[in-house]
Amino acid sequence: MSKELELKYGCNPNQKPAKISAAQGELPVEVLNGRPGYINFMDALNAWQLVCELKEATGLPAAASFKHVSPAGAAVAVPMSDVLKKIYFVDDLALSPLATAYARARGADRMSSYGDFIALSDTCDEMTALLIQREVSDGIVAPGYTDRALEILKSKRKGGYTILRMDESYRPDPIERRQIYGVTFQQGRNELKIDESLFTSVPTIAKEFPADAVRDLIISLITLKYTQSNSVCYAFDGQAIGIGAGQQSRIHCTRLAGNKADTWFLRQHPKVLGLPFKSDIRRPDRDNTIDVYISDDYMDVLANGIWENFFTEKPEILTRDEKLAWLEKMDGISLGSDAFFPFGDNIERAKRSGVRYIAQPGGSIRDDHVIETCDKYAIAMAFTGIRLFHH
């Protein structure tokens, strides 16, 4: 490892010179393949922290799919149902626990994960590498790689795939610094520990948090800790299913993340599972087509005859009434917010996506209204007392 590393350019090609350097000693990350850029390293270092915390909190292998310094997906290695394997397009593979975690992280929002940067909590094995090999991805960071996994990953992007190895023993200085417009900012690192102790202050009538909900709330909050704020995260079954990042309004976060969670659930509808795709359709085109099929734009696709580009026969329409009926089956979803909900409208939107458990800091002057809205729907809500802004 070295003390500094020159980069092609910064966030944009005109931002030169660019480099990363260690404040003390050597860099904790080693480039095994490829030529990583400025944003690659920002994604890698944030995503690495996320998966390390997920593994520490749950004891399970963890993975994250990062895009533009926010996670598109994050998950731990909870076994998947046959339906999930099918909608994540891994039903042809025998997955290791680590590969399961990445399949979940990648599968939550495949549109956003296109060209992702991957983080793994454990040594990358052959099965995880084979899964990554067939996805469009910019790079990966992990604590190590088996010989076969490294061989597979080096074959991606005509040999130019970025592969980073992180030093697991590295511990950064407790004070972090950055510059903006020539001005240096300094703050203590956000080392808040996220665990079940955060869910003891429960002001709602419903007070029970099942073990799975506690796990999912922990996943949600750790994910938010490394998501550009404002942010909200819906989680279920050991993974994030909808992340709303970087919105100026809290309700817009809740809507954005809720819409993504709805799409995740609609992809499990029998009509979506049975779509008659042509055998030669590319994976990104298939993902885009599913997204359009679920959306209201599909009527335009039918009207213009574009469906012939993707399907062997014209699929049945998934009607609005069918979508609403299917979404009514969503239940048991957990929701975390990086700051307090100022109004009950966030709860109303969350309820539409099956949210049953919520963790948020509390402290709004309208907490009473938020609690009242939760009570209306028998939602259990914990006030964590911690804010998780990340910029």
Q: Phi and psi for 178 in degrees, rounded to 5?
A: -155, 160
Report the topology of domain 4-170: Cytidine Deaminase; domain 2 (3.40.140)
Mean predicted lDDT score pLDDT of the chain: 94
Cα 97 to Cα 135, 137, 175, 342: the distances in Å are 18, 20, 35, 39
Domain boundaries, the chain: 4-170, 193-266+327-383, 270-317
- Asked if residue 363 lies in contact with residue 181, where contact means CB atoms within 8 angstroms, the answer is no
Q: Secondary structure of 271-306 in the HEC alphabet?
A: HHHCCCECCCCCHHHHHHHHHHHHCCCHHHHHHCCH
Active site (catalytic) residues: 67-68, 230, 391
pTM of the model: 0.95
For the chain, give the percent of residues with pLDDT over 70.
Answer: 98
Fold match flag (4-170 vs 193-266+327-383):
yes
The pLDDT of 5-14, averaged and rounded, is: 92
Give residue 296's pLDDT. Answer: 76
CATH of the domain spanning 193-266+327-383, picked from 3.40.50.460, 3.40.140.20, 3.40.50.2020, 3.30.70.1710: 3.40.140.20
Q: Which residues contact 140 (CB under 8 A, 6 or more apart)?
A: 117, 118, 119, 120, 124, 132, 153, 161, 162, 163, 164
The pLDDT of 146-175, averaged and rounded, is: 95
Give residue 302's pLDDT. Answer: 63
Give residue 370's pLDDT. Answer: 95
The pLDDT of 142-158, averaged and rounded, is: 97
Give residue 237's pLDDT. Answer: 97
